[in-house]
Amino acid sequence: MKNKLKLGIIYGGRSGEHEVSLMSARSVLSVIDREKFEVVEIGLSRQGQWFIGDDLLNKLKDEDFADLTPAIFLPNPQNPGIYAREEGKISLHSPLDVVFPVMHGTYSEDGTLQGLFELADIAYVGAGVLGSAACMDKGLFKDIMLANDIPVLPYKIFNRYMIENDIETCLDAAETIADFPLFTKPANLGSSVGISKCNNRSDLMEGLMYAAQYDRRIVIEKGINNAREIEISILGNEYPSASIPGEVVPKDIFYTYEEKYINDTAELLIPANISEEMITQIQLLALKAYKATDCAGMGRVDFLIDPETGSLYLNEINTIPGFTKISMYPKLWEASDLPYSALIEKLIELALERKSQRDKTEREFRS
């Protein structure tokens, strides 16, 4: 990295995790080495509009777009970068070498944004289209885990149409999963948005309708009373490595959005107080799941331990984990002797490495 790389940091977005993205972006921007990277900030409003401009992060937070310049990310492999729309004309505002999508949830972590980057033929941090989509949908992800003999909690998948038109059948089917408690979740969202713990049929009905506000696909899964939540960070492409595991001890009924980003009441134990045997098992399962879903760059893998039986279940992989000051992903790597700023640089290196692999693919065939 002798010359400054032009790095696009993209944040915000049309997702229930818009605010989380802004918090993550603020932390990432605070540690970027400006001697190595020329940073171009790109913000997406809650409505999906793209902007560039001064004091972008704060203006996006306040939804004050008056002095910002509308921007477009064109899928133009010859000139990848951010384009500005001024006085009715579209022109290249800044070419980019690599982009870091510090975004979470729908339209950003689910393969849609990654598809745009692929069309533009630009290097980007994190998993590709396949890995992003597979890990984002909690139902599909569980199917993949089962196919690879990785333990997950019993579950069923429903869709919004079923819930809106025949909720009683949905409730009957859900109650065959396991005894209460059950959890209802939007299949394609994170940060605990739209999740409910259901202790009876009435709770289940409310939980289904609540989750259906945030996604077309809904997952209902068995709940574990007082489950231990273990998280581990993965870093790498073809040869990923695993951090030491940490444990989240929520003060609420589960690790809610409020605890993660507002109240900051959950206790984070690093390292997790588990046996060496369990640590090894978690690291091996996390790496196996990461490879099975074709992840790249980074991922935070979340596990649940049943305190009564000691059984271990893989819950999910977050392909763009939180990067706030209290987020577990960078904290686990710091505890594994990789500081925050070095982690960011390593992720950018991995993005460029992944791009070099894509560049080896032939794009034309002529007989």
Tens of pLDDT, residue by residue over 113-150, are 999 999 999 999 999 999 999 999 999 999 999 999 99
Domains of the chain, first to last: 5-124 (3.40.50.20), 154-222 (3.30.1490.20), 226-358 (3.30.470.20)
Q: What is the pLDDT of residues 217-275, one digit of tens each?
A: 999 999 999 999 999 999 999 999 999 999 999 876 554 555 554 556 678 999 999 99
CA 296 – CA 319 distance, rounded (Å): 8
Whether 349 shows a pLDDT value over 50: the answer reads yes
* Contact of 27 with 43, CB cutoff 8 Å: no
Q: What is the pLDDT of residues 78-92, one digit of tens each?
A: 999 999 987 788 999
pTM of the model: 0.91
259: left (phi over 0), alpha (psi -120 to 50) or beta: alpha
Q: What is the pLDDT of residues 23-70, one digit of tens each?
A: 999 999 999 999 999 999 999 999 999 999 999 999 999 999 999 999
